[in-house]
Amino acid sequence: MIMSRTEAPRDEAAGDLADQLLGRLLDGLPAEAVLTDPDVTAAYANDMASFCAAGAPAVVVLPRTVEQVQHVLRTASALRVPVVPQGARTGLSGGANAVDGCVVLSLTRMNRVLEISPVDRIAVVEPGVVNADLSRAVGEHGLYYPPDPSSWETCTIGGNIGTASGGLCCVKYGVTAEYVLGLDVVLADGRLMSTGRRTAKGVAGYDLTRLFVGSEGSLGVVVRAVLALRPKPPQQLVLAAEFASSAAACDAVCRIMAGGHVPSLLELMDRTTVRAVNDMAHMGLPEETEALLLAAFDTPDPGPDLAAVGALCEAAGATSVVPADDAAESELLLQARRLSLTALEAVKGTTMIDDVCVPRSALGRMLDGVAAIGDKYGLTIGVCAHAGDGNTHPTVCFDARDADESRRAHESFDEIMALGLELGGTITGEHGVGVLKKEWLAREIGPVGLEMQRAVKTVFDPLGILNPGKLF
């Protein structure tokens, strides 16, 4: 591979291989789709987890067609060159980070919505379609694509599939995996494979579609997806409840879920997060609260549901319960929640964002444990959470230029993941493993599970060229 520069003969070999790689790529790609300027390719080196290790790409390619993707994979396979698939690089675990000498395969130019069927309630899209653009497109047909990550205005459907991403509305509508019906995938050797279906039902053979969802580009490159849609629900209305402790807010979450309520959204922001959002966006959120819980319903008449949930919040010790007056006020509250991770990054300049999901019954213990870890290491750790799913995002704020603070940040991050596993949870609910959590994946699934996962990888990618160094 194009990696070593330590010996003159190998330099010459690497140079020859680089020339050969470039020449072969240009045989099947337009020149404007092949980027080699180091100043340009460096911009594709990493995703939002900028502190994770990243290499220098040999070349960045931006195909527009399935055939061009196949050409890239055939070339890389023939030359044994690693390929790192990328979307919008909004990932938070280093899953899209380049490795030295790789071909970065950016799919952002494959951004067409190919079909929207109101009868079949499906959309057929290319991987570079932005999540929010798809939502707006299907909305014009009275339909709804529920998965809505906080980065929905920039993240792509291909990236969402790669990490099996979630979003704010998952408590009612579920995550990306539940909406991917079928895929077209280019394999490592350039062959095109179709999985799944476009029908409402289908159980023919192994569920390879689900296998690719969450595989982080390590098994193949998604070039087309058939997505399930739902009828567009009414505009949701939001209730905001303030609590004097995170434990009380988590008690309210448990009461709401045990009561059989089905909110379209149930989100939590701790005091650190609320203050960070106010500092960045001046949104006027209540800074004296220790935890702010947002609950929403998108039923035709959400009033009774909001009233019932408000009563449960008060029973759990809420100091204030305020329903939004209208859709505009509701959207403002949701925007505040979507800004949480960006606002926390501004606190110190760098964040390590944990993605630990625990059983809802353990949510209070998780947040109390994170607070204790922050105190132990003398760090600011803000927590926002998809509380209805038990999916927490403890966010360690630190100065990456300070070696000691960086060390403490990494140690606290590890302790948070260990706490999640101890509470019966998982190391990632929606962000993926990437580079950041490789060691922890092995701890969670155990040696037999790891052996089986590696065996699957070998079947689809025997040369190990697809997104090497990720997951395990």
Q: Is the dihedral of CA 231, 175, 151, 224 positive or negative?
A: negative
Give buried/exposed letters for 375-407 (b at 16+ CB in 10 A, else e): eebebebbbbbbbbbbbbbbbbbbeeeeeebbe
Instruction: Kindly report, as residue ranges, where domains of CATH 3.30.43.10 are found in the chain.
Output: 8-106
- Every domain of the chain with CATH number 3.40.462.10 lies at 237-422
Q: Does domain 113-231 have CATH number 1.10.1040.10?
A: no
Written as one string, the DSSP assignment of 187-201 is -TTS-EEEEE-SSS-
How far apart CA 192 and CA 338 sit, in angstroms, is 37
Structure confidence at residue 253 (pLDDT): 98
pLDDT in tens, 140-174: 999 999 999 989 999 999 999 999 999 899 999 99
Average pLDDT over residues 229-235: 96
For residue 79, give the nearest of 172, 184, 3, 178 by alpha carbon.
Answer: 3
Give 98 or 12, the one with higher predicted confidence: 98
Positive or negative, the Cα torsion across 299, 300, 306, 312?
A: negative
* CA-angle at 198, arms to 193 and 202, nearest 5°: 90
Mean pLDDT on 99-113: 98
Percent of the chain with pLDDT over 70: 97
What is the rounded CA–CA span in Å between residue 167 and residue 161? Answer: 13
pLDDT band at 4 (very low <50, low <70, confident <90, very high): very low
The conformational region for residue 110 under phi > 0 = left, psi -120 to 50 = alpha, else beta, is beta
Q: How confident is the model at residue 360 (pLDDT cuts 50, 70, 90)?
A: very high
The least confident of 108-112, 206-210, 281-285 is 281-285
Q: Strand 180-186 to strand 192-196: parallel, antiparallel, or no bridges (unpaired)? A: antiparallel
Supply the pLDDT for residue 372.
97
pTM, full prediction: 0.93
- In this structure, what are the phi and psi dihedrals at residue 272, rounded to the nearest 5 degrees? -60, -45
**Where do the CATH 3.30.465.10 domains begin and end in the chain?**
113-231
Runs of H (alpha helix) within 197-261: 208-212, 246-258
- pLDDT for 37-91, tens place per residue? 999 999 999 999 878 899 999 999 999 999 999 999 999 999 999 999 999 999 9
Confidence (pLDDT) at 403: 96
Please provide the CATH number assigned to the domain covering 8-106. 3.30.43.10
CB-CB neighbours of 119 under 10 Å: 5
Contacts of 30 (CB under 8 A, 6+ apart): none
Tokens of 157: 């459907």
Q: Using CA atoms, how far apart are residues 292 and 428, in angstroms rounded to an integer? A: 23
The whole-angstrom separation of Cα 88 and Cα 128 is 8
Domain 237-422 falls in which CATH fold? Vanillyl-alcohol Oxidase; Chain A, domain 3 (3.40.462)
Give me the sign of the Cα torsion angle 292, 325, 258, 320: positive
Q: Are strands 83-86 and 103-106 parallel, antiparallel or unpaired?
A: parallel
Report which DSSP code applies to 102: P
CB atoms under 10 Å from CB of 328, counted, come to 9
